Amino acid sequence: MKSFTGILLLLALSSCSMAQTGPWLDESGQRLEGSQLIQYQGFKECGHEDVQFIVFFGDMYARDPEGVLGPLSNPAGESLSFEITSEIPDGVIAQGFSFRDREIYFDPATREDYLYVHFENGNLERWPRAEFPCDRPGA
């Protein structure tokens, strides 16, 4: 019976494997640990496999251009949304965290609501805060 339970546990864990993007590096080229910055595809079990998530120093943000997650809002009830632009808003600055052709930007005044991913091609994606425990690694 123990071996059957072990096989079931192994199958369950393998079906929940994360499709990660990385490794992300800090400004000195050192690899960041998963507890600092991790980017991954949402989990099928949560119904969010078409969404990319970034957990940045404990805060979760989502790339959800199709609106799979539904309406998002901050604790004050203000609506949050994903956006692609080529304009970098005032106050949004590079933070020195990079992976291949992308770099993390944010405005310290709005980091609770948004994280920005800047690409070498000039595009800037605004990822809203999206806390979904089902999609959090290790949940």
Domain ranges of the chain: 19-135
Residues of the chain with pLDDT under 50: 1-16
> Residue 13's pLDDT is what?
33
> Residue 18's pLDDT is what?
60
Preceding amide of 65 cis, omega within 30: no
> Residue 114's pLDDT is what?
98
> Residue 8's pLDDT is what?
31
> Residue 2's pLDDT is what?
40
| Among candidate residues 108, 105, 110, the one with its CA nearest the CA of residue 125 | 105
Q: How many helices (H) and strands (E) does the chain have?
A: 1, 11
> Residue 15's pLDDT is what?
42
Q: What is the model's pTM?
A: 0.82
> Residue 14's pLDDT is what?
38
> Residue 139's pLDDT is what?
62
